[in-house]
Amino acid sequence: MIERLEDSFDQIRQFTSDASHELRTPLTILQGELENSPAQQQTREEYSVVIASALDEVIRLSNVVETLLELSRAGWWKGKHEL
């Protein structure tokens, strides 16, 4: 029984690590783009590229969050499943 509990905790730790990484990467990209953009004198087209890239990252984050919610609703943690 203790071994099963330890396995469950290991799975939760791995899942949390994976989810954190999936969320951190687009947030880091967004932060870098948005912090650097005002510091540089850019054309309207260049700003449009930055905004489009930021939107892509927001969509990516939304997809990750939606997947996490679906896993939660499906009771992912009750079985031995991997992402």
The pLDDT of residue 61: 92
The pLDDT of residue 15: 84
DSSP 61-81: HHHHHHHHHHHHHTTGGGS--
The pLDDT of residue 78: 61
pLDDT at residue 82 greater than cutoff 70: no
- Could you report the per-residue pLDDT of 60-76, keeping only the tens digit for each? 999 999 988 888 788 76
- Could you report the per-residue pLDDT of 8-32, keeping only the tens digit for each? 888 888 888 888 888 898 899 999 8
